Amino acid sequence: MRRPSISATRGGPIPVRSLAHTGPDSLAGRRVMSQLGERAPFAGTRRGRLRHAQHEPFENMGDSWHPICRGETPFVRATRPEGGSSRCRGGCCVAHDGELVERILRDARRDVLAELDRMFTERRRTGYGPLYDLLADYPFREGKGLRPAICLSACRASGGTTDQACCLQPRSSCSTTRSSSTTTSRTARRTAAARQHCSGGTVYRLPSTSATQRTSWPWHRCWKT
């Protein structure tokens, strides 16, 4: 079943200008949330119907909204909401797990920094060290690790493994992959790669048709450039 894009759902496209004012109390916010609710994951399945049954109308949430959902907390909390559930205690449509987010961000940042550290160490050893001291200044600053976390998570969501987006093996292991592959046939290598690929995570098949082709979203004109 094709999942409709945000602008193809009932109610027409969301005006771009409304996206800058989508607080829980705004009319635009209610519209966005209602449209997001319509295209929730597993929509149309038994699990999806159960989720919809638990989803209370926006107006009736009142004080049962989690502070994050009410907009009172500016940052993602590191702890789960009261009761240990990953869902808002009011049962709202924002499925949030602070511990999971923190762990994903921490692991991604750790892996990428380890790879950068290895690379800069090698460059300092073989090149002009002071240059790489300057280059290393920015990536090693304090940060949340949002970009590597998105990249590695998208890799795993597509059915891949972390080392496909960030080579975590020692260089010697990577180089031996090429030399050992000469002893097997091309078909066997590809079959083995596909098998390894599928065992690494849940395979997520991207929609075969671009959602942007069926929308009136104004920015799609420049996406292909």
We find the least distance from the C-beta atom of residue 106 to other proteins, in angstroms, to be 16
Residue 206 corresponds to which amino acid? L
- Of 12 and 50, nearer to other proteins (C-beta) is 12
Dist. CA 50–CA 87, nearest whole Å: 14
We find the least distance from the C-beta atom of residue 21 to other proteins, in angstroms, to be 9
- Of 3 and 49, nearer to other proteins (C-beta) is 3
Element (H, E) at 177: helix 171-181
DSSP state of 111: H
- Of 64 and 200, nearer to other proteins (C-beta) is 200
- Of 80 and 189, nearer to other proteins (C-beta) is 189
User: Going by C-beta distance under 8 Å and a sequence separation of 6 or more, which residues neighbour residue 65?
Assistant: 24, 88, 90, 92
We find the least distance from the C-beta atom of residue 66 to other proteins, in angstroms, to be 17
- Of 100 and 174, nearer to other proteins (C-beta) is 174
User: Coil, strand, or helix at residue 95?
Assistant: strand
- Of 131 and 193, nearer to other proteins (C-beta) is 193
Dist. CA 198–CA 159, nearest whole Å: 6
Q: Which residues pair with 95 in a beta bridge?
A: 87
Select from 6, 34, 36, 31 the least CA-distant residue to 18. Answer: 31
Tokens of 48: 């999806």
We find the least distance from the C-beta atom of residue 103 to other proteins, in angstroms, to be 17
Q: HSE (CB half, 13 Å, CA atoms) of 116?
A: 16
Neighbours of 94 (CB within 10 A): 13
Q: Which residues pair with 87 in a beta bridge?
A: 95
- Of 5 and 81, nearer to other proteins (C-beta) is 5
User: Which residues of the shown chain bind other proteins in the complex (CB under 8 A)?
Assistant: 5-6, 16-17, 19-20, 22, 74-75, 115, 119, 142, 146-148, 150-161, 163-167, 171, 174-175, 177-178, 190, 193-194, 197, 201, 206-213, 215, 217-220, 223-224
We find the least distance from the C-beta atom of residue 83 to other proteins, in angstroms, to be 26
DSSP state of 90: T
